Protein backbone atom coordinates (compact mmCIF):
# COMPACT_ATOMS: atom_id res chain seq x y z
CA UNK A 1 0.00 0.00 0.00
CA UNK A 2 1.37 3.40 -0.99
CA UNK A 3 1.94 5.78 1.87
CA UNK A 4 1.78 9.54 1.70
CA UNK A 5 4.80 11.79 1.72
CA UNK A 6 5.35 14.26 4.54
CA UNK A 7 4.28 17.42 2.73
CA UNK A 8 6.08 19.72 5.17
CA UNK A 9 9.35 17.90 4.48
CA UNK A 10 8.74 17.94 0.74
CA UNK A 11 8.23 21.70 0.83
CA UNK A 12 11.31 22.15 2.99
CA UNK A 13 13.65 20.19 0.75
CA UNK A 14 12.27 20.87 -2.72
CA UNK A 15 11.20 24.52 -2.40
CA UNK A 16 14.27 25.72 -4.29
CA UNK A 17 14.03 23.10 -7.02
CA UNK A 18 13.04 24.54 -10.38
CA UNK A 19 13.23 21.40 -12.48
CA UNK A 20 10.63 18.83 -13.43
CA UNK A 21 12.41 15.46 -13.29
CA UNK A 22 10.49 14.42 -16.41
CA UNK A 23 11.36 17.17 -18.87
CA UNK A 24 13.66 19.64 -17.15
CA UNK A 25 11.27 22.59 -17.42
CA UNK A 26 10.47 24.86 -14.50
CA UNK A 27 6.86 23.75 -14.13
CA UNK A 28 6.65 20.90 -11.64
CA UNK A 29 3.58 20.87 -9.42
CA UNK A 30 3.31 17.38 -7.92
CA UNK A 31 5.38 14.52 -6.54
CA UNK A 32 5.44 11.09 -8.10
CA UNK A 33 6.15 8.01 -5.98
CA UNK A 34 9.04 6.53 -7.93
CA UNK A 35 8.34 3.07 -6.55
CA UNK A 36 5.18 2.07 -4.71
CA UNK A 37 6.35 -1.27 -3.38
CA UNK A 38 7.63 -1.89 0.10
CA UNK A 39 7.15 -0.45 3.53
CA UNK A 40 9.23 2.69 3.06
CA UNK A 41 7.62 4.31 0.02
CA UNK A 42 7.04 7.54 1.96
CA UNK A 43 10.79 8.20 2.14
CA UNK A 44 11.77 11.51 0.52
CA UNK A 45 14.20 9.48 -1.59
CA UNK A 46 11.13 8.15 -3.38
CA UNK A 47 9.82 11.57 -4.48
CA UNK A 48 10.18 12.85 -8.04
CA UNK A 49 8.87 16.36 -8.77
CA UNK A 50 6.89 16.35 -12.02
CA UNK A 51 4.32 18.44 -13.82
CA UNK A 52 1.12 16.55 -13.16
CA UNK A 53 -0.69 17.11 -16.45
CA UNK A 54 2.25 17.17 -18.87
CA UNK A 55 4.84 14.78 -17.44
CA UNK A 56 3.09 12.63 -14.84
CA UNK A 57 -0.38 11.50 -15.80
CA UNK A 58 0.14 11.04 -19.57
CA UNK A 59 3.38 9.11 -19.04
CA UNK A 60 2.54 7.27 -15.82
CA UNK A 61 2.88 3.72 -17.13
CA UNK A 62 6.24 4.59 -18.71
CA UNK A 63 7.47 5.99 -15.41
CA UNK A 64 7.44 2.41 -14.06
CA UNK A 65 10.23 1.32 -16.43
CA UNK A 66 13.40 0.30 -14.61
CA UNK A 67 15.64 2.82 -16.37
CA UNK A 68 13.28 5.71 -15.57
CA UNK A 69 12.97 4.66 -11.94
CA UNK A 70 16.73 4.39 -11.67
CA UNK A 71 17.24 7.86 -13.17
CA UNK A 72 14.64 9.39 -10.84
CA UNK A 73 16.08 7.61 -7.79
CA UNK A 74 19.54 8.93 -8.60
CA UNK A 75 18.36 12.45 -9.36
CA UNK A 76 16.41 12.67 -6.10
CA UNK A 77 19.21 11.24 -3.97
CA UNK A 78 21.84 13.53 -5.52
CA UNK A 79 19.56 16.56 -5.24
CA UNK A 80 18.81 15.96 -1.56
CA UNK A 81 22.42 15.19 -0.60
CA UNK A 82 23.65 18.29 -2.46
CA UNK A 83 21.23 20.28 -0.30
CA UNK A 84 22.70 18.78 2.90
CA UNK A 85 19.83 16.40 3.56
CA UNK A 86 20.67 13.99 6.36
CA UNK A 87 19.33 10.51 5.79
CA UNK A 88 16.68 9.43 8.27
CA UNK A 89 16.11 5.87 9.38
CA UNK A 90 13.29 5.47 6.85
CA UNK A 91 15.65 6.61 4.07
CA UNK A 92 18.29 4.09 5.09
CA UNK A 93 15.68 1.34 5.02
CA UNK A 94 14.47 2.57 1.65
CA UNK A 95 18.04 2.45 0.31
CA UNK A 96 18.47 -1.07 1.65
CA UNK A 97 15.18 -2.17 0.10
CA UNK A 98 16.23 -0.77 -3.29
CA UNK A 99 19.94 -1.55 -3.15
CA UNK A 100 19.73 -3.32 -6.52
CA UNK A 101 18.89 0.04 -8.12
CA UNK A 102 21.27 2.21 -6.10
CA UNK A 103 24.30 -0.09 -6.20
CA UNK A 104 25.47 1.07 -9.63
CA UNK A 105 25.89 4.73 -8.81
CA UNK A 106 26.63 4.55 -5.08
CA UNK A 107 29.94 2.84 -5.84
CA UNK A 108 31.10 5.78 -7.97
Mean pLDDT to the nearest integer, 8-35: 95
CA–CA dist 6, 58 (Å, integer) = 25
In a domain, 2, yes or no: no
In a domain, 36, yes or no: yes
In a domain, 1, yes or no: no
Mean pLDDT to the nearest integer, 56-79: 93
Domain that holds residue 14: 7-103
DSSP conformation class of 29: -
What's the structural domain count of the chain?
1
In a domain, 20, yes or no: yes
Q: Which one, of 34, 15, 24, 18, lies nearest residue 55 by Cα?
A: 24
In a domain, 46, yes or no: yes
- pTM for the whole structure: 0.90
Instruction: Output the average pLDDT for the chain.
Output: 90
In a domain, 87, yes or no: yes
Amino acid sequence: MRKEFDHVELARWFSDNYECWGCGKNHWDCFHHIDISGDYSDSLLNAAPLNNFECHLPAHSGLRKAEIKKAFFKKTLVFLLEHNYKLKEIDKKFLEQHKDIYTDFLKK
